[in-house]
Structure 1
């Protein structure tokens, strides 16, 4: 059986959810999950509960997109997440319904913008690496100085210090230290 869930959020404890709740109740939701938490926060427990609760064929109703996503990118990712689970989304204020041809078109536009943003980031990264190589630099993390590695290995061999203490004293990463320890034992 398909269910309708509502999701309402305000940014502070002092704000009132009544207006959103009144709108959602008119749409016969079996449950309305509410939060009084800033949309910029990553930890929105009721939204996470909603994501776990919904099943294919269910519908989520929100008052507006601003109540669901922290940013355009976050909103697009949430819409894509629900769509991938077969969950429909209705935003009352924007008159957006993924069940309609117009909603499906807008979803396609959202996805295109999301892909465009990913492609731009990848292109900038590639251009940055090419520019650095043209100036004689390599990409990636800077190489660890041989003296730091020698010091770390001596401290390790002394068996007086833990790995975390050695990392703290030499400034090299734990992964780097282990990599050089393995290199010595393989030889």
Structure 2
């Protein structure tokens, strides 16, 4: 039986990395499979050093599946950093399956003894993954550029005030804490990160 390792990532602690968990579970169930291990973290896709992703790769055995929702959950890295990550994934014997890359999903049903089909799929998916990784990085760079341009324009007009606090979220956090939930549980219930909970309690 194929061992599936699911990886969930959100860009910042203000986002909930578990949001896509149901989608991955539904996909695996539809394929008659079960996710054996979860690796969840809040970290930027532009960051090469990610604790949970590194742990997943270290834990992996040849033939395991690395299941993700989208390729950009795995990488928004520069080309050189992506090449290093891809090499580590391949060295661990992992096959990446992504919900937004249909050709990769064939890896769920390829027999371990079918070496030719497996190698063909690996070659095709490696090329497509490179393309999607490049698109993900370009999207990140474009958004950062537009954000910087917008801030500069707002500053020039004297209307830039920085990022406003989410008062509705902060009130919900305070109410959860008053009910006795821990900071970690409060973050999970509010759908935010621990740092957001801590900021709300200080405000």
TM-score when normalising by structure 2: 0.47
Per-residue deviation, 1:80: 3.2
Question: In the alignment, is the contact (CA less than 8 A) between 2:58 and 2:92 conserved in 1?
Answer: no
CA distance in 1, matches of 2:42, 2:82: 18
Q: Residue 80 of structure 1 corresponds to which residue in structure 2?
A: 87
1:55 aligns with 2:61: yes
List runs of 5+ in structure 1 lacking aligned partners: 112-187
1:32 corresponds, among 34, 38, 41, to: 38
List runs of 5+ in structure 2 lacking aligned partners: 29-33, 108-117, 131-203
TM-score when normalising by structure 1: 0.51
CA distance in 2, matches of 1:17, 1:62: 12
Question: In the alignment, is the contact (CA less than 8 A) between 1:39 and 1:70 conserved in 2?
Answer: yes
Instruction: Provide the secondary structure at the position in 2 that maps to 1:30.
Output: strand
1:106 aligns with 2:113: no
1:10 aligns with 2:10: yes
Question: In the alignment, is the contact (CA less than 8 A) between 1:96 and 1:103 conserved in 2?
Answer: no
Report how many residues are paired.
Answer: 112
1:66-102 Cα distance to aligned partner (Å, 9 max, x none):
1112325233432332223321110111224173645
Structure holding more helix per residue = 2
1:68 aligns with 2:74: yes
Query: Which gives a bigger RCO, structure 1 or 2 (Cα 8 Å, sep 6+)?
Result: 2
Distance 1:82 1:17, change over 3 A: same
CA distance in 1, matches of 2:58, 2:45: 19
